[in-house]
A and B are shown apart, each in its own frame.
Chain A
């Protein structure tokens, strides 16, 4: 691993900016910096969001696991619990549909000139994150700890070699994408 590069703070900030630039460029080209496309997905009329997410997931999964097998990368799994991932995920979903952007695509929407994203949404996300920081000490030992399962990955839960999970998941996602195209979604 390139640990000498990882430790250089200034360089990392620059690399973050560069990665964001590419990410924003791709999101805009994909159309997902638009409210109409995101809400179209949630109303099950336009499947652009799911197609982008799943093809990114397949590509990323193969590459990152290969890099890991070669000793060039390590995983960064996030811990979770039913109380955190599930309840938080559902609250996020309500906001996702009401706002019509997510934290990444809203930055792209701002870049594309969407003022509802800049004046309403961006301010809202910052306020919402701040409110969460305020209630965090009270939630931490309660709901966030309910049904805790740590930072496990699917191969760890199944006690198999990572590739024994990667290959079937990649095949399933590709079959699903193929099926969506066949159905004309």
Chain B
């Protein structure tokens, strides 16, 4: 149990654990781990509340039907698993502003939330444009040696490193 109470594990233990988890999802569910379609489906479900069934006729939602599926449950599970881990190790805290953001841009919650919202919009838009995220392309796609996934994963980091340097070294 001591081990579960630790705040951090070696990145290699965590990485090997995620790799083994991917064997299990391939065997038991015939699915690679991925997260971003859950957000697209959720968006469709919310839009449906306001606009009704005609939302289902959108081309995109014919491909990704707005419903709770395996991947949606996976994302829900991530929240619960992370919460459990954080609770056991005493790392669960309600916080608005991460330390490295606060050090450069101040500790105002409003600024951080607005920037997170804008970042989230780009992330969600980009993930669906690229057809996957850091999980679906970055881990599951690269481990299957898929060409589109290796290209997307490299571009995630090229764009991410460029933007992080711009935000912290030019704006900050």
Contacts and interface: CB of A to CB of B under 8 A. Distances in A.
Interface of A: 1-3, 5-6, 12-31, 33-36, 39-40, 42-44, 48, 51-64, 67, 72-82, 84-117, 119-134, 136-137, 139-140, 144, 149, 151-155, 157, 162, 165-166, 169, 177
A174 B101 CA distance: 33
Given A24-B82, A29-B6, A75-B144, A52 B75 contact: no
Given A94-B159, A133-B58, A67 B23 contact: yes
A41 to B, nearest CB: 8
Contacts of B76: 17, 20, 107
A99 B146 contact: no
Interface in B84-137: 84-86, 89, 91-101, 109, 112-137
B148 A149 contact: yes
A89 B44 contact: no
Q: Which of B83, B91, B121, B149 has the most CB of A within 10 A?
A: B121
B101 to A, nearest CB: 6
A105 to B, nearest CB: 7
B171 to A, nearest CB: 11
A24 B124 contact: no
Q: Which of A3, A87, A100 has the most CB of B within 10 A?
A: A100
A12 B113 contact: no
A112 B16 contact: no
Interface of B: 6, 8-9, 11-33, 35-36, 38-40, 42-44, 46-47, 58-61, 64, 68-86, 89, 91-101, 109, 112-165, 167-168
B55 to A, nearest CB: 9
Contacts of A76: 30-32, 140, 144
Nearest to A23: B78
A111 B124 CA distance: 19
A64 B120 CA distance: 32
B151 A20 contact: no
Contact of A21 (B80, B115, B140): B80
Contacts of B100: 35-36, 39-40
B125 A24 contact: no
Nearest to A22: B21
Nearest to B70: A16
B78 A104 contact: yes
B60 A120 contact: no
A71 B85 CA distance: 35
A59 B77 contact: no
B46 to A, nearest CB: 7
Nearest to A108: B82
12 contacts: A3-B30, A29-B6, A30-B11, A34-B98, A61-B19, A95-B119, A96-B163, A97-B163, A100-B101, A103-B75, A124-B121, A125-B123
A74 B98 contact: no
B122 A95 contact: yes
Given A19-B24, A20-B77, A21-B80, A120 B86 contact: no
B147 A154 contact: yes
A84 to B, nearest CB: 6
